[in-house]
Amino acid sequence: MVKIELEPDKKDKRVLFELEQDSRQPLQKIAKAVGLSKEAVFHRIKNLEKDGIIKKYITEVDIYRLGFQYFPILLKFQNSTAIIENEIIDYLKKNKYVAWLASCEGNWDINLTILAKSNYDLNLFLNEFQRKFSEYIAGKQIFITSEIHYFKRGFWLDKPTTQTISASGEKSIEFGDIDLELLKIISEHSRMPLVEIAERLNLSPKTVAYKIKNLEKQKVIQGSRILVDFSKLGYKYYKVWLNFNNTDENNWKKMYSYFKLNSNIIWATKLIGVYDLSIEMEVKDIDELRKIIKEIKEQFSSLIKNHESLLIFEEVVLNYLPRV
């Protein structure tokens, strides 16, 4: 079966750009920025949803502020069959600690991220997983994240964005059950009207608006954007793991500034573990990936010790807030 690549026109790209900067903004504001009527923008958005290009409208939440921590894990299979691998993936899909799960091509078969409040929760997950599947796991690597940065996309326009959404382990805050339920709703439905959110929470729209403002003030809500399926546009998704000779703060800031200006790189995550950093990027093909890695290595030749890359060919789980 031939995969059809879609090509949004310039107006579609402008709409995508505006939604990427703030997916909660009203249609009228997007229409003014794009130079179309509100009705035309509405229909373009619906078509982008129908074509599967826009998958979700996301509110980015700093889970560190809620007292949680990300633990990325790499897994390599052994002695497995397709049936066993599907059983493992199905188990991980249903596990309450799994925030992100992807099938990979490269030195590792699975990349997942555990969302937990403590090492105790991580151990609960690992002990149960190993009890069930240890004979099929040839190797694993576990990391702790210390900083996460998302670089908002420019969507191939002449005015690339330099906006970022960052989380870096600031002190956690006290929050209530209603706050968490509110965050669960808007984390995957950022464009949901206040009236509908209020109905779900049995609150008034005014109270919901106040709570959202307060969560923004406390830096729990970091911003909003769209989740785009770039495979529909002919792009491939790669994750690159990097190890450094020197990881002092000045070197990190230089590298961060460089990544921020690269239109292919969308995530940069500082790690504690075998690797010091992971970056995620969308590229047209393997040649473009190699070109970007070569440029990074040339730019930071004295810093980079080694690297490895993984093709992420299927994202199986994507949860923005804890299910625990």
Q: Is residue 102 part of a domain?
A: no
What is the CATH classification number for the domain harbouring 200?
1.10.10.10
What is the Cα–Cα distance from 96 to 323, expressed in whole angstroms? 5
pLDDT exceeds 50 at position 39: yes
Q: Is residue 8 part of a domain?
A: no
What is the Cα–Cα distance from 320 to 198, expressed in whole angstroms? 21
Domain range holding 179?
Answer: 174-217
Q: Is 130 strand, coil or helix? A: helix
Residue ending a domain, among 217, 251, 275, is: 217
- pLDDT cut 90: percent of the chain above it: 77
pLDDT exceeds 70 at position 158: no
DSSP 297: H
Contact in structure between 31 and 38 (CB atoms under 8 Å): yes
pLDDT exceeds 50 at position 1: no
Q: Is residue 156 part of a domain?
A: no
pLDDT reported for residue 266 = 92
The pair phi, psi for residue 280, each rounded to 5°, is -120, 135
User: C-alpha 62: how far from its chain's center?
Assistant: 12
Domain count, the chain: 3
What is the Cα–Cα distance from 185 to 182, expressed in whole angstroms? 5
pTM of the model: 0.89
Contact in structure between 100 and 319 (CB atoms under 8 Å): yes
pLDDT-based confidence at residue 52 (cuts at 50, 70, 90): very high
Whether residues 242 and 294 fall in one domain: yes
Q: Strands (DSSP E) along the chain, which ranges?
A: 54-61, 69-77, 98-105, 110-116, 137-142, 144-151, 164-167, 221-228, 236-244, 265-272, 277-283, 304-318
Chain segment 63-117, per-residue pLDDT in tens: 999 999 999 999 999 999 999 999 999 999 999 999 999 999 999 999 999 999 9
